[in-house]
Structure 1
């Protein structure tokens, strides 16, 4: 199992090197208690982190919105680090919490943020939102939107249910109390 986890870390890091990224030891240590599940999940998650048709910026908007809605501090903190490395400003990261109605979003960014809300509330992207995304995204990107939201929603539920605490290096990136 340790070789698999090490391979996951190195393949994701080599696809998108991120100096200073937190290793996620608390999460990976918990997953390692169930090796067959961990290997299946990490294989899928590796696609979302390094093989997705979405840009890193697009992915991070989705994940941050999921973390906010699911109230998952660990996921929020980890992905604030990744969002900053993808070029999102502090204002844009903060704006994720305001949702799709924040006036500063581009039409596609607004649709991405709205897609999270719709998927988590209704289980489907609304027709109007789908049309905005489909005007710019091909079929694979559209699929990656749905699977990214689904995966990170499931991960948020897991992190919270298992009581996984953020590593010390993530503490400065935790959300402010609601």
Structure 2
């Protein structure tokens, strides 16, 4: 089978690693050994990116509340929707039991829930209830699985990771037919903010690890997420690299975040980051350009590149040849840091919408003049 995408980044030679690459390789355990996948050896070109995936990957693949077969099914469905033949082939090889296209029971609910996250970045009441029956963290683990594999798909396809010999891609058994889901505009408030005067021991431990984001003065979303300390613990290194340790300049970072949350229709996150944007000198006219899209006359210079590249990941799951090296000027991991921002805010948009998190007091959501840009955003 010919490769889906040409190779852009070859796997590293494990005998010729830099010091930092070797340090990260060792931390990767079995995923850094000589027999590891082409994906992991390719990711080692970007050691900070590879390291940021460790804890969230462990949660998704090993410690999730989702039973292994259902976690694999959620992963495979996400890979299918994102058009990642590489990820699809690996998941199916590791979990041959998920071969049936005639799904019923909880397997059907899991697939339909992933479809809802992909199309609406939300879960219906039925899926919220059904998936929640699997465990106290099951819904968060489903969202984490979806966001993690969205990020992997964007990286694998953009890097052109090649399918290893012997693995079966799209020619193998298919997946359930994709059904488009309507995106709701009015969201149910499901998860309320935790009372910081009555946190449990695990919540207190996690809040202390979060620094300023774990204080009682933090945002509504953070206060709601503290109800799921295992989720926050798994997300921490991924988020730290994407937010605190990124090599992207603040304006580039914020515009990438804003285009992602606009595409995912998270008015809560848009309102939160709008305040940060205005402090940076990003105007509401600039943000109208972000909402309108990469062809907007309101976008200038590199702002247009940022918006277009996020769109490439959202709509096509792959950064184009034209834009692949445009982020090198910010550092050797500029492009992977962009992928992390995109993946993190797809995930957080799902969380905010599924929780039904309401705007902070005094915050401004979507300005009325942005309404005309909402049409045509759906992946369908």
TM above 0.5, yes or no, is yes
Q: Aligned-pair distance for 1:133?
A: 3.5
Question: d(CA) in 2 for partners of 1:169 and 1:47?
Answer: 30
User: 3-state DSSP class of the match of 1:95?
Assistant: helix
Q: Map residues 37-116 of structure 1 onto 2, 5 A cutoff.
A: 37-116=231-310
Cα-to-partner distance string for 1:53-105 (whole Å, 9 max, x where unaligned): 00111111011111111111001000101111222122112211111112343
**Are residue 145 (structure 1) and residue 347 (structure 2) matched?**
no
Q: Map residues 127-142 of structure 1 onto 2, 5 A cutoff.
A: 127-134=321-328, 136-142=329-335
**8 Å CA contact 2:268, 2:352 repeated in 1:** yes
Q: Which residue of 1 aligns with 2:210?
A: 8
**8 Å CA contact 1:107, 1:132 repeated in 2:** no
Flag as ranges the 4+ runs of structure 1 deviating above 4 A: none
Q: Which runs of 5+ in 2 are unaligned?
A: 1-202, 372-380
> Out of 366, 369, 377, which is 1:175 matched to?
366
Question: d(CA) in 2 for partners of 1:54 and 1:165?
Answer: 29
Name the count of aligned residue pairs: 166
Question: d(CA) in 1 for partners of 2:236 and 2:281?
Answer: 25
**8 Å CA contact 1:112, 1:133 repeated in 2:** no
Q: Aligned-pair distance for 1:43?
A: 3.9
Cα-to-partner distance string for 1:130-153 (whole Å, 9 max, x where unaligned): 24344x343311110011011101
User: 3-state DSSP class of the match of 2:326?
Assistant: helix
Q: Which runs of 5+ in 1 are unaligned?
A: 13-21
Which entry has the higher C-alpha Rg, 1 or 2?
A: 2
Greater relative contact order (Cα 8 A, min sep 6): structure 1 or 2?
A: 1
Larger helix fraction of residues: 1
Query: Once superposed, what is the RMSD of the aligned Cα atoms?
Result: 2.3
**Are residue 164 (structure 1) and residue 366 (structure 2) matched?**
no
Q: Which residue of 1 aligns with 2:178?
A: none
